[in-house]
């Protein structure tokens, strides 16, 4: 494709804009992993009183080694602590992140259901969308749902 042909394609974003979008997506994917872990750890603590790495691995469908590696990352980032033979615990920052993720998930599910997506499908789809949606879009979702 020649430079002129590229310039004539209005649907093609600028290099900087496209690089920004892809960079944002990569960053969201990295954060999504941590968000899924803190949300699950919080849920396990609330429902069964503990979050063992084995349980985390099984519920996320990953190997025990993968769960341990990610839990180590949570600890490095100040989101979790652990005690030998006792499992994983969220720090105040980890619990705050879990709560933000939980609220964002619920908002995305509510929007999807409001536009006609069946509940089970909305729950599954929200798992991906919740990590990539911007604060601007979330505010628009809230406004839309409030007007209904």
- What DSSP letter does each residue of 83-100 carry, written as one string? ETTTEEEE-HHHHHHHHH
Question: What ranges make up the beta strands (E) of the chain?
Answer: 80-83, 87-90
What angle (nearest 5°) sits at the alpha carbon of residue 103, between those of residues 118 and 26? 90
Measured distance CA(88)–CA(98) in Å, rounded = 14
Nearest CA to 126 out of 138, 136, 143 is that of: 138
Taking only the tens of pLDDT, the chain with its 148 residues reads 566 555 556 677 787 777 766 666 666 566 889 999 999 999 999 999 999 999 999 999 999 999 999 999 999 999 999 888 889 999 999 999 999 999 999 999 999 999 999 999 999 999 889 988 899 999 999 999 999 8
| The two structure tokens encoding residue 57 | 């691995």
For residues 107 and 123, what is the distance between their CA atoms, to the nearest angstrom? Answer: 11
Domain 27-147 top-level CATH class:
mainly alpha
């Amino acid at each position: 494709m020649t430079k002129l042909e590229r310039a004539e394609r209005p649907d093609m974003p600028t290099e900087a804009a496209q690089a920004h979008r892809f960079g944002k997506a990569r960053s969201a994917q990295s954060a999504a992993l941590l968000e899924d872990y803190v949300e699950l750890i919080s849920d396990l603590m609330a429902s069964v009183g503990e979050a063992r790495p084995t349980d985390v691995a099984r519920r996320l469908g990953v190997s025990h080694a993968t769960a341990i590696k990610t839990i180590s990352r949570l600890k490095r980032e100040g989101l979790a602590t652990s005690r030998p033979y006792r499992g994983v615990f969220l720090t105040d920052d980890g619990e705050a992140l879990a709560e933000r993720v939980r609220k964002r998930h619920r908002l995305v599910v509510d929007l999807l259901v409001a536009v006609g997506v069946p509940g089970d499908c909305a729950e599954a789809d929200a798992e991906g969308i919740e990590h990539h949606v911007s604060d601007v879009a979330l505010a628009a979702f809230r406004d839309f749902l409030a007007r209904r």
